[in-house]
Structure 1
Amino acid sequence: MRILALTSFKHDTAAALLEDGIVRAAIENNKLVRHPTRGLPDAAIRFCLDAAKITWNDLDAITVATRPIRGWLRRSLSQATPLRVYPWAAAFHEADDIGRLAREISDLRTLAHKGAAFAEITSFDHHTCHAASAFFQSPFERALIVTLDEEGDGLSGMVAVGQGTKLRVLKRIAFPHSLAWAYSEITQLIGFRAHKDEHKTQWLSLEGEPSFKDVFLKMMRTPGNPLPCFKHSLFDPRLTGQLAFSAKFYQAIGGRPAGELSGDHSRALASSIQQACTEIVTDLADHFLHAENLHQVCLAGGFFQNLLVVAHLEDKFGRGNVFVPPAPGNAGTGIGAGLLLWHHELQKARLPTTPSPFWGPRFKPGEIKDVLDNSKARYSLQNTETRKLDAAIELLQAGKIIAWYQGAAEFGPRALGNRSVLASPWAAYVKENLNDYIKHREWFRPFALAVTEEDCHTYFEASSLCCAMNSLAWARETCDPTVRGFSLPDGRIRLHVVERRSNPLFWQLLKRFGERSPAPILLNTSFNLFGEPLVVTPREAIRSYYCSGIDALVIDNFVLSKHSARQVVTPQTLAVSGPAALQGAGDA
């Protein structure tokens, strides 16, 4: 049975194709079109159909992770009380929400026009799809499920229980009682961009003291209620009908800022909102785990892209008892909708979990070579896998920063070794070079280390969530001091554990690098230009390589370097320069 599974249409849209409950293809729309999108993810849909070599006629079902009318009704009811004393704000809000409803219904009608003649369309609640995405991709037979995001179909979260092929909803968290919304507002108050830079607030929180933690706790929960519950006295409706912090809130944090906040004030706010949210979520999960006599918990929703929260929950409930899917945000709800239909509605048995989410586009060597020749790029061709690995390791040992472009693109927010920028942790000034010449990012944001699964326990204490970089690890005392230098202020470390079964080529690179270095460990960060999505196509890879301070690009079996050829080509290498390499390159 083929299911085309789509996200909601609000933001971070994506599409996935499932065959008999197994994900065959999935990609975010913004990675393909290279800018944020809403509405139907047309480019992602085309990719999924092309990847499976099918048309709309071959689909058996279409699922969508939203119910627009139900969401509109919920939002209208939840906003009715706080907005009734602000008639202008209420009018603006209602007009805007009706416009959103009209767009979403129009998107559903367009989808029906394309596919209804061939496949039945089923819509599910947004947060139920989050829950399905978390539970049905987990290894657990019975578990608590907690979902949290800013707003989806009028809800900000859900608490449920998953057992076998069924989900049972315990509680729903109505908007605007949203921890994710509060976190975004503080992100903007600090001076970052809401809905884009929450990860910066997360890492900045480790640099400050939680001076205002009690203010946030009083603002976001009430005694005796395990669910988030906001006090309206600390909020005012904006003219658009959205909420904003009130004068009472600003008084509690030392006054409304006249301009940019001081560094200490920003760090204190970041630390306070981080620790307050962590405490609320931990107490919520603990309450329902005890109430339902459960020991394991699945997490989904954009809020759980916060690694500090997830790591704290692992510390509280035990490694191996917490699960986060590879794409916990809105992009993952499409897969959740497909799995909800397959397991919950059709009662099909669950299958072993997928090792890794390499479900995006992949390109043949001939296609890559055509792009290289069209770009008039000079490259060498490594005509065996061993020679390719040797060329990459030679560059890494020389202290070079390389872009590693192999196989299918990752689905989800993390670079897991197919669209990565790699460097040796022992290279001189590697942090500075990555930050200043490639990533152009703040000093307090950490880089991840990649290590093979078999060697992980020698250097780190980590859970299986680190396979998708969804949690943090601890560096052991016996770990190399240089590696420990990449630790966060609290001693934890961002870690990518690489399994041989899920990414054999990247695993081999780490192993071979470890034979010539103190450990099989590399720095791993995403391959993209500042502010852009992860690269997908060869042309995007070449553009990002030439427009940044990356020293070399290993793209399939082709190696490009900004340094002399002798630094790239070993005596065993078949050297080819540009368009002269016409024979056999497509078969490499």
Structure 2
Amino acid sequence: MKKDVYVLGTGLSHNGSVVILKNGKVAIGIEKERISRVKHDGGNDSLAVQYCLNALNITLANIDLVVQCENFCTPPQDQFSGKRLFEDYPETQFHTISHHLAHAYSAVGMSPFKAFNVLVMDGCGSPYEQCIEPDKPLLTDINLADEVGMVCEKDSFYHYDGKTLKTIFKDFSPMESITHTGYQLPTTRHSIGGFYAAVSNYCFGNMDDVGKLMGLAPYGRNSKIDFNPFELKDGRVFLNGNWYSPLKTPNNSWDGLKSNFGHYAEVAFWAQQQVEIAVAYTVNHRQSLSPNFPLCYSGGVALNAVANGKLVQQGLVKSLFPEPAAADNGLALGCAYYGWLKLLQGNKVQHDGSTCFGKTYTNEEVLKAIQNYPVSFTYRPIDDDYTVITKLIESGKTVGWFQHGAEFGPRALGRRSILANPAKAEIGKHINNNIKFREDFRPFAPAVLKEDAHLYFEYAYESPHMIMVDKVKQASKGLLAATTHVDGSARVQTVTEDWNPRFYNLLIAMKRQTGHGVLLNTSFNKKGQPIVETPEQALALFNETAMDVLVIENYLILKPD
């Protein structure tokens, strides 16, 4: 019998994660934060490695190859922010790759295309000296030879022909070292992602969830800020030295944001617009270097779902695949695929589109968690037609939905979700205030049957990973009152049966119940907390919030009267 080949990829930056491939296919994957319960947790990878080994019922002795990536260093095999499990397996084949290469290979592994381009844009990649790509540019060629500080990857562009990844264009930037009256970029000096993070910090007083700047921006759509923070020249993006000029009154609290909401909304809208312009310019230039190919897109900037949608709407790309775990949580995935495709020269196994890499909890484990929980919940098994659930949702109840292996990446896609009726306009405010405990301007996503997307959305492009924003048709805004943002947009999830059958069947049941196969879908967590991973975590959040109903696998759970 042929031996199974296991490749373990581990990302040790912030948003740490571990992925194991078995014979070239994802067998298991987890973000460290889901286990440690510390948002954006990274560094030492022992927790995540052990989770993955346990899920597959193997040990490190079964692992043929380990590939790792951090950001600014090469972590030792035995120690990194504490002892690593690899210390006891010194014979394990161990490799380190650079940051953008890991991002690129995550897109290569997940891509639905056979031949395509890959663009990586983030806050900051690896230092020039640690970048292992042999065809990287000379610093003299990009006018950076005289820089005395650290120079790091800014954006990278590749072509994958079905077998080999070739570097076409790489840009680097010095690290930011100057504080502008308190406004310091947390990244390289000319980073699009760094600019967006800095403005998010200005508006919210932290960078815990940079993406919520997208949610704030539409409230400032009448912004009168007229200032270009970027210089777009010779296919490269540069941040002007006075980029921070519109930033006059930094905020550090929710009360501060509310007291001057109009100003921060206008700043958010300005920043979002400028990022869209810079992204479009970069994409247009890079695609001109390798025309007529689909584009795969990774790095933290690729999580800007508004900019992603406009790339398609404006015809800058014919086919776009933003890698679902585009931020540093996807590094482990790229490391694993680099190990399989590049180091072991394995054949690319076409991915099925799923990002749900977590372990599945058995009904026995679920039942044990319910029975051992300190609160005596009412629970019973449910059948597969889900009518009882859709009736509850139609009536205005909120439902925690926990099914099979959890999603890998920042979006809940119907495995660890909170669901509600999108036609109930007031339900969004209720979820934000009493379940998520977060800012009330935060929007919600509609999950829709893929075959029905054209009924509700202007462009109706395929968006299975909730990473593209569409426009809601005028006639549908009432039906989708709770998932239509203030500017008429929505970050859509299109659902198919192939890798998400239970969620698909729930939408089918919702369509039978209401005539519309659409649900409000938001992640199963509260502000500052990672998405739940275990049944115990789901029960705890259910108990402490105003969530009405919980469904874990085949059990319907209600609170005591």
TM-score normalized by the length of structure 2 = 0.84
The aligned counterpart of 2:286 is 288
Q: In the alignment, what sits opposite 2:143?
A: none
- Give the Cα separation in 2 of the matches to 1:230 and 1:493: 30
Aligned mate of 1:398, from 385, 395, 399: 395
**Deviations, residues 335-368 of structure 1 (Å, cap 9, x unaligned):** 1111122223433332222221111122111111
Identify which of 203, 212, 215 aligns with 1:203: 215
Range with greater deviation from structure 2 (56-65 or 492-501):
492-501
Question: Does the CA contact (< 8 Å) of 1:173 and 1:228 recur in 2?
Answer: no
Residue-by-residue CA offset, 1:531-570 (whole Å, 9 max, x unaligned): 1010111110110001001011111222222376xxxxxx
Instruction: Give the number of aligned pairs.
Output: 509
Matched, 1:407 2:404: yes
- Which of 6, 12, 16 matches 2:15? 12
Distance 1:66 1:530, change over 3 A: closer
CA distance in 1, matches of 2:357, 2:278: 35
After TM superposition, the structure 1 stretch with the greater mean CA deviation from structure 2, 37-46 or 339-348, is 339-348
Residues 1:30 and 2:46 aligned together: no
Cα deviation for residue 213 of structure 1 reads 5.2
SS of alignment partner, residue 158 of structure 2? strand
Q: Which residue does 2:371 correspond to in 1?
A: 373
CA distance in 2, matches of 1:428, 1:296: 38
Q: Partner of 2:96 in structure 1?
A: 123
Question: Are 1:462 and 1:472, in contact at CA under 8 Å, matched by a contact in 2?
Answer: no
Q: Hey, what's the Cα distance between the residues in 1 that align with 2:534 and 2:422?
A: 28
Contact 1:552 1:559 in 2 (8 A): yes
- Matched residue, 1:253: 246
1:437 and 1:255 map into 2 onto residues whose CA distance is 33
Gaps of 5+ in 1: 71-100, 235-248, 565-588
Contact 2:99 2:331 (C-alpha < 8 Å) held by counterparts? yes
> How much has 1:430 moved relative to structure 2?
1.3
Q: 2:64 aligns with which of 48, 60, 63?
A: 60
How much identity, in percent, do the aligned residues show?
Answer: 26
Aligned residue number for residue 51 of structure 1 = 55
**What is the CA-CA distance between 1:485 and the residue it aligns to?**
6.2
Distance of 2:51 and 2:123 partners within structure 1: 29
Q: Which has the larger radius of gyration?
A: 1
Residue 227 (str. 1) matches residue 236 (str. 2): yes
Deviations along 1:153-204, whole A, 9 cap, x unmatched?
Answer: 232322222221222222133341211111111111123412x221221121
Which residue of the partner structure matches residue 449 of structure 1? Answer: 446
What does residue range 218-367 of structure 1 map to in structure 2 within 5 Å?
Answer: 221-222=231-232, 224-231=233-240, 233-234=241-242, 252-253=245-246, 255=248, 262-317=260-315, 321-367=319-365
Distance 1:474 1:28 in 2: 32
Q: Does 1:519 align with 2:516?
A: yes
Counterpart of 2:228 in structure 1 is 215
Deviations 1:275-309 (A, max 9, x none): 11111111111012112223421111112111111
CA contact (8 A) 1:67 1:123 kept: no
Structure 2 CA distance for aligned equivalents of residues 109 and 436 of structure 1 = 41
d(CA) in 2 for partners of 1:506 and 1:258? 40
Q: Alpha-carbon deviations, 1:413-440, whole Å to 9, x = none?
A: 1111111111112346212221221122
Q: Say which SS state the counterpart of residue 172 (structure 1) adopts.
A: strand
State how far apart, in whole Å, the 1-side matches of 2:472 and 2:288 are.
31
**CA distance in structure 2 between the partners assigned to 1:311 and 1:433 by the alignment:** 28
Query: Cα 1:111–1:211, aligned 2, differ >3 Å: closer, same or farther?
Result: farther
* Aligned position for 1:583: none
Structure 2, gaps ≥5 residues long? 128-152, 176-187
Q: Distance in 2 between matches of 1:347 and 1:356?
A: 24
SS at match of 1:308: helix
Partner of 2:122, secondary structure, is: strand
Contact persistence 2:235–2:281 (CA under 8 A): yes
Secondary structure at the aligned position of 1:535 is classed as: coil
The whole-number CA distance in structure 1 between the counterparts of 2:310 and 2:302 is 12
Output the amino acid matched with 1:142: A
2:206 maps to which residue?
A: 193
1:256, CA displacement in angstroms? Answer: 5.8
Q: Tell whether the 8 Å contact from 1:39 to 1:104 is kept in structure 2 after alignment.
A: no
Q: What SS does structure 2 have at the residue aligned with 1:317?
A: coil
Tell me the secondary structure at the aligned position of residue 124 of structure 2. strand
Q: Kindly provide the CA deviation profile for residues 199-227 of structure 1, in whole angstroms up to 9, marking residues without a partner as x.
A: 2211211222454453312xxx35x3322
Identify the structure with the greater helix proportion: 1
The 5 A counterparts of 1:386-535 are: 386=385, 389-427=386-424, 429-462=426-459, 466-479=463-476, 481-483=478-480, 486-535=483-532
Please, what TM-score do these two structures have when normalized by structure 1?
0.81
Relative to structure 1, the CA distance from residue 257 to residue 167 in structure 2 (aligned partners, 3 Å threshold; closer, same or farther) is same
Structure 2: how far apart are the matches of 1:502 and 1:496? 14
Query: Aligned to 2:123, what secondary structure does the other structure show?
Result: strand
From the superposition, tell whether residues 410 and 426 of structure 1 become closer, same or farther in structure 2 (CA, over 3 Å): same
SS in 2 for 1:150: coil
Q: Which amino acid aligns with 2:286?
A: F
CA contact (8 A) 2:399 2:548 kept: yes
Preserved CA contact (<8 Å) 1:67 1:124: no
Q: Which moved more, 1:180-189 or 1:460-469?
A: 460-469
| 1:357–1:257 Cα change, 3 Å | closer
Q: Per-residue CA shift, 1:5-31, capped at 9, x if unaligned? A: 101x23110000101211010010011
Residue number in structure 2 paired with 1:171? 170
